[in-house]
Structure 1
Amino acid sequence: MGDPAGISPELAAKLLALSEVRESADIVVFGDRRILDEGARVAGVDPAIETVDEAQLAASPRGRSVFVDLENLAVEDVTPKEATLAGGQFATGNFRKALQLAAAGRADAVFFTPFNKKAMRLAYPNYDDEIRFINDVLGRSGPASEFNVLGQLWNARVTSHIPLSGVAAAITREAILRSLTLADRAMRDAGFQRPRIAVAGLNPHAGDDGNFGREEIDVIEPAVAEAASRGIVCEGPFPSDTVFLRAKAGVFDAVLTMYHDQGQIAMKLMGFDRGVTLLGGFPFPICTPAHGTAYDIAGQGIANIGASREAILLAARMGREARMRAAA
């Protein structure tokens, strides 16, 4: 369960009430039952999931879904529509438990309803984003990245949560190669046989042959050529204002963009209520809806479940396929 002050509690309740979600996996939910029940009341659904405490979890057999009641937040301690320390502690505590369960080999994938970054920072001062938090919990420092997924179309990025003023300096040949390699591997893990990746330029019109910048000529194009020589199916750089049109038409399976909003804007315009964020590069898939906590509509029972449904079903499918690969 994610941030309690927004739509996360009602999204969690709505998901657990969906038969297709319950049938997709054995689900272990971490949170506080009081918060889930309040979300269910707001959403007008019955999640009908068995509650266990943490000590009982180890004895819980496969084949059923359970709610692990950490008793870590009372309803009266939630400040609706506001980022608070209590909300951040609730979200980080739940997320840590889920990550630890997967890291111990007892879960195949992790899904979370939306977090609020301000609340997360209040509870965990080192928090930059979910990737930083996951690395800290797992004690790792390997490459990882956010991917936005909309149906069969993916968006990867070279830089993510950094100021726009620092983007150009961070666009290096090594960073692009690392991003292409990670995207290719994550997409293969998700079922693509040979993912086709288009690479966006950094500058307007992909630099216009050097008239608007040389990053495309000096950095991006050589990185794409090297990735192709390693067997990754990739092309570019293409102007970023048209590359998504080609990807949407099916010419490519993914677009690698140079910075956060270059891809986020396009993906959210095409399908805000269906977009998924996949955190790739970890030992197990981690998914969440691409939207945020929606404080403005919290408590009204009108939160759209589409993106959360897509995200948890993707996590279940990728976790299932990873288990099958490991058993082969």
Structure 2
Amino acid sequence: MNSKHHKIKVGISVGDFNGIGVEIILKALNDKNITDFFTPIIFGSGKLFSYQKNVFKIQTNFNYIQHPKEASNGKLNIVNLWKDNVNVDFGTPTEESTKMAIDSLEAATEALMNEDIDVLVTAPINKDEMMKQGFKHAGHTGYFEEKFNKKGLMFLVTEGLKVAVSTHHIPVSEITKNISKEKIKEQVKILNQCLIEDFCIQKPKIAVLGLNPHAGDGGAIGNEEIEIIEPAIKELFNEGILAFGPYPADSFFQADKYCSFDGVLAMYHDQGLAPFKTIAYEEGVNYTAGLPYIRTSPDHGTAYDIAGKNLADAQSFSEAIFTAIKIYRNRAEYQELTKNPLKSKVLANDNGIDEDLPEENE
């Protein structure tokens, strides 16, 4: 990690170009002052972006490069992975658009691991089509877990609501056999550390949702809460982590309840994402927590139904970019402070606080 004055290099994978991925990238970067804040490095095709910027009537100039190391500050850089013409068929995933999505993701991930970029923001992919082309994972999370050899956690975040999910892209029929006390404990620990390191929350309060309706209703509607979730929460609390629950999911996402917590662990995908996307709407960001590298994405998919119609809103993609930058800086500061614990006292004194002074009434 570098100093807080470092111009952060934001790598961007293009996703499926027959969806809204390129459109939201163009719109998010369509500000002449955007490169004052970071250096964008897109992994894609110059011809593709030239074509789509004309479709959406966006006047943007790109710096075409062959390797991310060649990126220039103050410019919108494109690593030109594909030099041939690209056939765009809005609204329909094709073999060509799927292969570019895979190539873009793999090139951007390699650059991230080689520290040629500082963070990665991924545009939406078509999971089913990518798996047909040999991609082994039903989503980004599993892919990054394999590449980085570390367990991650799908974590949807805004300023006021942060929701992780215990099980990701699996059938509902397989949820029960994919939760365990040990897994929940591991995930809450990841979530707790992420809130501390990446979001600067000193003592996070974490809510854990139940699996069954009414959180099992004392065993009348399932025993997973009694046998798995409650013991996990009790052990976590005894280890010093402020975990609470299990809470019934049907009533938890009322403002007076979820706002009392810094993070939430839902048991399965839709249990957490349905309320999150309803509350957060266009502001939500998908963040893969617990990994050694920072990756974010918008909280929506390829949106083939509006692709090519100039209707896509880039707000979530912009939020994903600036969330990644914020997490990078937070994590760098945390690592600096924990590397030199005396630094925290110096920072306190710089703020006019002398930690050695007694209280006035002592």
Q: Same-fold call, TM > 0.5?
A: yes
- When residues 73 and 294 of structure 1 are mapped into structure 2, their CA distance, relative to the original with a 3 A threshold, is farther
Give per-residue Cα distances to partners, 1:234-280, cap 9 Å, x unaligned: 21001011112157652112221111100111011112322211112
TM-score w.r.t. the length of structure 2 is 0.83
1:133 Cα shift?
Answer: 2.2
The one of 152, 164, 170 equivalent to 1:156 is 164
Q: Which amino acid aligns with 1:313?
A: F
The one of 288, 292, 305 equivalent to 1:283 is 292
1:42-191 equivalences in 2 (<5 Å): 42-54=55-67, 57-60=68-71, 65-71=76-82, 74-75=85-86, 77-136=87-146, 138=147, 140-188=148-196, 189-191=198-200
The one of 27, 35, 45 equivalent to 1:22 is 35
Deviates more, 1:273-282 or 1:38-47: 38-47
1:231 Cα shift?
Answer: 2.4
Instruction: Answer yes or no: is the 8 Å Cα contact 1:200–1:237 preserved in 2.
Output: yes
1:67 Cα shift?
Answer: 1.6
Structure 2 alignment gaps of length 5 or more: 1-13, 338-362
- When residues 23 and 231 of structure 1 are mapped into structure 2, their CA distance, relative to the original with a 3 A threshold, is farther
Fraction of identical pairs, as percent: 30
Structure 2 match to 1:211? 220
Instruction: Answer yes or no: is the 8 Å Cα contact 1:31–1:71 preserved in 2.
Output: yes
Distance 2:66 2:327 in 1: 27
1:60 Cα shift?
Answer: 3.8
CA RMSD of superposed structures (Å): 2.0
Structure 1 alignment gaps of length 5 or more: none
Give per-residue Cα distances to partners, 1:52-109, cap 9 Å, x unaligned: 222xx4244556542211125633x233211222111101111111111111122221
Instruction: Answer yes or no: is the 8 Å Cα contact 1:21–1:313 preserved in 2.
Output: no
Structure of higher CA gyration radius = 2
Instruction: Answer yes or no: is the 8 Å Cα contact 1:108–1:322 preserved in 2.
Output: no
1:30 Cα shift?
Answer: 0.8
Distance 1:20 1:124 in 2: 40
TM-score w.r.t. the length of structure 1 is 0.91
- Please state if 1:240 is matched with 2:249: yes
Q: Would you identify which runs of 4 or more consecutive aligned residues in structure 1 move more than 6 Å? A: none
- When residues 150 and 58 of structure 1 are mapped into structure 2, their CA distance, relative to the original with a 3 A threshold, is closer
Q: Which amino acid aligns with 2:242?
A: V
Q: Which amino acid aligns with 1:132?
A: G
Q: Which amino acid aligns with 2:216?
A: G
Instruction: Answer yes or no: is the 8 Å Cα contact 1:190–1:318 preserved in 2.
Output: yes
Distance 1:46 1:301 in 2: 14
1:309 Cα shift?
Answer: 1.0
Distance 1:52 1:43 in 2: 23
Q: Which amino acid aligns with 2:42?
A: V
Q: Which amino acid aligns with 1:234?
A: A
Distance 2:129 2:326 in 1: 30
Distance 1:248 1:298 in 2: 37
Instruction: Answer yes or no: is the 8 Å Cα contact 2:30–2:58 preserved in 1.
Output: yes
